[in-house]
């Protein structure tokens, strides 16, 4: 669709100004080439365009608009010449070319600077944002005393003030807006609703204004309704799924025929989530027999999107639950909700009651006896209220289950539940043995064995308890096996032809587990026998005649020698001493 001349002119001026602003903060003029066939636009028309957009353009852009206002002839085909350092169009006058050249030089000098300040960059970005916003805005004016704008998406944005008409009577209908519909309202600041504004947010149309077909209202908490005496048809025909009336104060609303809250929710067929506050109450008038509660809130079963397989047809407050899983105690048909609602006790968000409501989570804890966490909690979710499950304990290495706190057979409800398993560490019991020994060695003098060793032992035992979870060991007391804690008296063995230096090894009493081993040595020496050996040396003198006969008795002279003989009876070896006469 071809833009009107004034909008086309404004658009081109804004584009041109944004180019020069980004290129160099020093350039504040645009060169406009005016074709000879351009249509004439009055100064007043251009000023009107300027006024309608002055909230969204910078002072530099306003200067450009004012310059454009002084031109005599411009139409929708007007071209804005951007100064880029090149020669102007051949269709432009020499005067325009002369004007471009100094501008080009200034731009070149500015762009050659190596750095741009942060403030100029921010200003450029803000200018571009405002230009973009200005291009999206189709209308700006007031809703009552509150400033308001309507953009190309059908969003009516409203500032602070007092709303004195219904939304479908705010924006004048022009050729440019003839196909527009207000779809969304955004309240950005506190606004006041006076005593009587019927159909404030109704989806309706009036001659001469842009119609409304609202499917979303943002910022309803900004709406001050404390002065309102009537709220009839306030949301008539609203097609949104949510409404937040938590800040509504209906204490001043009168109960009157055709007033009050008659048709408050008339033709509302998409509502799934309704938040009501403590100062809110439904006030209406039964002005015809077929409408027992003139607020006209239909049951969820009459709403679009309702399916009996998923929803019960009742409203339920969220309570401690969520939008998808409400846990509140108020479960009501629409008429019951309207006629019994009490803000002091029932303020909450109401949603369609699901046929299957997810239950509150079940938390399973795994702790030791001292309350220390052995495993991360297992949070069970996804069960619907009324569903049953059975919780089973986890096998934890080196632990055994001691007890269960809570019920293992769980029925999901709207109350969180807890099951706690208490575990003991596994204890391994073993017997530790320790032997204290006394060894008696029987040795010859040369260190060789004279007789086998005599070994006597006292055996001790104790219990060792090992915590398999921590590795910690606990020890019992040492106990002597058979209570024998004595090393007995031992007689040294007799060895033939040997004698010992220790005939007995004494007994040892009260042997302890921490006693040191004992070694005893018994030495054996051979038996030594000494004897005297005698030897005689004789001299005999025979006295004879020549004929050999004895002339006189022989004379015998004897010398006796002795010596000591030492006999090793073990070996039989003799050792002899010196002969002595």
pLDDT for the residue 262:
85
Query: What does DSSP say about strands 417-425 and 449-467: parallel, antiparallel, or unpaired?
Result: unpaired
SS3 94: helix
Tens digits of per-residue pLDDT, 297-335? Answer: 899 999 999 999 999 999 999 999 999 999 999 999 998
Confidence of residue 78 (pLDDT cuts 50, 70, 90): very low
pLDDT for the residue 291:
53
Q: Return the closest-CA partner of residue 521 out of 438, 443, 437.
A: 443
pLDDT for the residue 5:
40
pLDDT for the residue 528:
86
Give the tokens for residue 220: 């309803």
Question: 173: which DSSP letter?
Answer: P
Its domain, for residue 560, covers: 529-576
Tens digits of per-residue pLDDT, 390-418? Answer: 999 999 999 999 999 999 999 999 899 99
pLDDT for the residue 512:
93
One domain, residues 306 and 433: no
In angstroms, the CA 246 to CA 279 distance is: 8
Tens digits of per-residue pLDDT, 126-157? Answer: 666 566 566 799 999 999 999 999 999 999 99
One domain, residues 275 and 368: no
Would 323 be classed as within a structural domain?
yes
CATH number at residue 417: 3.10.20.320
CA 516 to chain centre: 60
* Number of independent structural domains in the chain: 4
pLDDT for the residue 62:
38
Confidence of residue 28 (pLDDT cuts 50, 70, 90): very low
Would 73 be classed as within a structural domain?
no
One domain, residues 212 and 313: yes
Would 398 be classed as within a structural domain?
yes
Confidence of residue 511 (pLDDT cuts 50, 70, 90): very high
More confident residue, 293 or 534: 534
Would 140 be classed as within a structural domain?
yes
pLDDT for the residue 278:
97
217, pLDDT greater than 80:
yes
What's the residue count for the chain?
Answer: 581
Among candidate residues 526, 544, 565, the one where a domain is terminated: 526
Give the tokens for residue 349: 């968000």
Would 81 be classed as within a structural domain?
no
120, pLDDT greater than 80:
no
CATH number at residue 547: 2.60.40.4300
In angstroms, the CA 559 to CA 572 distance is: 30
pLDDT for the residue 379:
97
105, pLDDT greater than 70:
no
Would 454 be classed as within a structural domain?
yes
In angstroms, the CA 478 to CA 458 distance is: 12
One domain, residues 257 and 389: no
List the single range of 90-99, 318-327, 434-443, 568-577 with lowest mean pLDDT: 90-99
More confident residue, 290 or 425: 425
pLDDT for the residue 130:
62
In angstroms, the CA 30 to CA 71 distance is: 12
pLDDT for the residue 127:
67
Question: 447: which DSSP letter?
Answer: S
* Average pLDDT taken over every residue of the chain: 80
pLDDT for the residue 204:
84
Q: Residue 177 half-sphere exposure, CB side, CA atoms within 13 Å?
A: 24
One domain, residues 383 and 494: no
Q: Return the closest-CA partner of residue 205 out of 159, 241, 173, 240.
A: 173
List the single range of 72-76, 207-211, 396-400, 569-573 with lowest mean pLDDT: 72-76
Among candidate residues 354, 381, 398, the one where a domain is terminated: 354
8, pLDDT greater than 60:
no
Angle between helices 59-69 and 118-136 (to 10 degrees): 50
44, pLDDT greater than 90:
no
In angstroms, the CA 528 to CA 569 distance is: 6
Answer yes or no: are the C-beta atoms of 222 and 187 closer than 8 Å. Answer: yes
Residues 6+ apart with CB under 8 A from 325: 354, 357, 358, 359
Among candidate residues 321, 354, 387, the one where a domain is terminated: 354
Tens digits of per-residue pLDDT, 461-492? Answer: 999 999 999 999 999 999 998 889 999 999 99
In angstroms, the CA 13 to CA 16 distance is: 5
One domain, residues 367 and 350: no
One domain, residues 288 and 419: no
pLDDT for the residue 27:
32
Confidence of residue 572 (pLDDT cuts 50, 70, 90): confident
Would 545 be classed as within a structural domain?
yes
pLDDT for the residue 86:
37
Tens digits of per-residue pLDDT, 236-268? Answer: 999 999 999 999 999 999 876 667 888 899 999
Tens digits of per-residue pLDDT, 339-381? Answer: 899 999 999 999 999 999 899 999 999 999 999 999 999 999 9
More confident residue, 512 or 25: 512
pLDDT for the residue 289:
52
One domain, residues 301 and 408: no
pLDDT for the residue 468:
94
pLDDT for the residue 180:
93
- CA–CA–CA angle 378, 380, 382 (5° rounding): 155
90, pLDDT greater than 70:
no
Q: Return the closest-CA partner of residue 245 out of 229, 262, 265, 263.
A: 265
One domain, residues 489 and 513: yes
One domain, residues 334 and 209: yes
Q: What is the pTM (predicted TM-score) of this model? A: 0.53
More confident residue, 119 or 544: 544
Would 50 be classed as within a structural domain?
no
Query: What is the share, in percent, of the chain residues with pLDDT greater than 90?
Result: 58
One domain, residues 314 and 198: yes
One domain, residues 445 and 396: no
pLDDT for the residue 570:
78
Q: Mean pLDDT, to the nearest integer, of 158-172?
A: 94
């Amino acid at each position: 669709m071809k833009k009107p001349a004034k909008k086309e002119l404004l658009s081109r001026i804004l584009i041109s100004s944004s180019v020069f602003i980004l290129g160099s903060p020093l350039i504040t003029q645009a060169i406009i080439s005016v074709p000879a066939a351009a249509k004439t636009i009055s100064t007043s028309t251009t000023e009107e365009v300027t006024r309608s957009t002055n909230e969204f353009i910078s002072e530099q852009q306003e200067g450009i608009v004012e310059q454009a206002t002084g031109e005599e002839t411009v139409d929708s085909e007007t071209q804005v010449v951007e100064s880029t350092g090149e020669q102007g169009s051949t269709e432009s006058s020499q005067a325009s070319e002369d004007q471009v050249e100094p501008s080009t030089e200034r731009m070149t000098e500015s762009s050659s600077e190596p750095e741009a300040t942060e403030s100029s960059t921010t200003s450029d970005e803000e200018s571009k944002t405002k230009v973009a916003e200005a291009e999206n805005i189709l209308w700006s004016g007031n809703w009552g005393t509150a400033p308001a704008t309507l953009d190309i998406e059908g969003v009516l944005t409203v500032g602070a003030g007092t709303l004195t008409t219904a939304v479908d009577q705010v924006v004048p209908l022009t050729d440019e807006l003839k196909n527009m519909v207000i779809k969304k309202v955004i309240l950005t600041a506190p606004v006041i609703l006076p005593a009587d504004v019927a159909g404030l947010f109704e989806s309706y149309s009036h001659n001469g204004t842009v119609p409304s077909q609202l499917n979303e209202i943002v910022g309803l908490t900004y709406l001050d309704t404390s002065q309102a005496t009537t709220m009839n048809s306030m949301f008539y025909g609203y097609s949104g799924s949510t409404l937040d009336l938590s800040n509504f104060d209906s204490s001043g609303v009168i109960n009157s025929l055709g007033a009050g809250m008659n048709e408050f929710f008339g033709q509302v067929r998409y509502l799934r989530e309704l938040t009501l506050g403590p100062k809110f109450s439904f006030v209406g008038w039964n002005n015809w027999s077929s409408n027992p509660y003139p607020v006209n809130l239909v049951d969820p079963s009459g709403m679009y999107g309702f399916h009996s397989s998923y929803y019960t047809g009742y409203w339920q407050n969220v309570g401690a639950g969520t939008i998808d899983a409400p846990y509140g105690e108020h479960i009501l048909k629409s008429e019951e909700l309207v006629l019994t609602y009490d803000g002091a006790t029932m303020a909450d968000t109401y949603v369609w009651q699901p046929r299957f409501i997810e239950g509150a989570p079940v938390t399973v804890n795994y702790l030791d006896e001292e309350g220390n966490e052995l495993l991360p909690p297992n949070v069970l979710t996804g069960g619907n209220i009324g569903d049953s499950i059975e919780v089973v304990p986890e096998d934890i290495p080196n632990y055994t289950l001691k007890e269960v706190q809570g019920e293992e057979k769980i029925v999901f409800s709207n109350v969180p539940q807890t099951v706690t398993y208490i575990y003991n560490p596994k204890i391994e019991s073993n017997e530790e043995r320790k032997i204290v020994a006394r060894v008696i060695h029987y040795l010859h003098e040369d260190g060789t064995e004279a007789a086998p060793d005599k070994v006597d032992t006292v055996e001790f035992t104790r219990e060792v308890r090992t915590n398999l979870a921590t590795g910690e060991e606990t020890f019992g007391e040492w106990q002597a096996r058979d209570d024998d804690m004595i090393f007995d008296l031992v007689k040294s063995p007799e060895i033939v032809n040997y004698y010992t230096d220790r005939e007995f090894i004494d007994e040892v009493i009260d042997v302890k587990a921490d006693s040191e081993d004992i070694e005893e040595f018994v030495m054996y020496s051979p038996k030594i026998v000494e004897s005297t050996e005698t030897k005689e040396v004789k001299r005999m003198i025979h006295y004879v005649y020549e004929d050999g006969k004895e002339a006189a008795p022989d004379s015998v002279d004897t010398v006796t020698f002795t010596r000591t003989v030492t006999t090793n009876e073990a070996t039989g070896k003799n050792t002899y001493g010196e002969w002595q006469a």
